[in-house]
Amino acid sequence: MRTLVWQRWPTTGLCAPVTTAAASDKLVADQIATGVIADAGMVYFDVRPGVATPTVELRVCDSCPSLDTVVLIAALFRALVDRELDGLRASLPGIDLATPLGRAALRRCGARPALGWRAIWLTSVARRRAWPTRW
């Protein structure tokens, strides 16, 4: 229920695709100009540029059950950011991901894997099992 209510807010979930810092700043400025939010601190996209520091913030996991889970997620996210920075420096194209497809991937992989749903493989838009069914 919380996720359904949270998604009603226009500055939560997956961000609209932006390719530059200026485009990201404009997206936030437009939200402020319309009065939807009061300031940039009210942007709660799952992944966003830091407001006060030159960082990338991951906001998807706001409550993790253990310290091990927090460390694992932080390490995976750091590796993903490093990989994307390497690609940017090498002038490689990023993944062009439509917001609805990103939401579908989060739902499939995060909300339903125990039911045998398949993850959406974002680099090829193919369906794959989120993890093996037998350990």
Comparing 34 with 107, the larger pLDDT belongs to 34
> For the chain, which residues make up each domain, given as ranges?
2-96, 97-135
* pLDDT tens digits, one per residue of 54-79: 888 887 666 677 888 888 888 988 98
26-46 per-position pLDDT tens digit: 999 999 999 999 998 888 888
Give the rounded percent of residues in the chain with a pLDDT score beyond 70.
Answer: 72
pLDDT higher for 72 or 132?
Answer: 72
Burial of 48-69, coded b for 16+ CB within 10 Å and e otherwise, reads: bbeeeeeeeebeeeeeeeeeee
Between 63 and 14, residue with greater pLDDT: 14
C-alpha 37/C-alpha 20 separation (Å) is 21
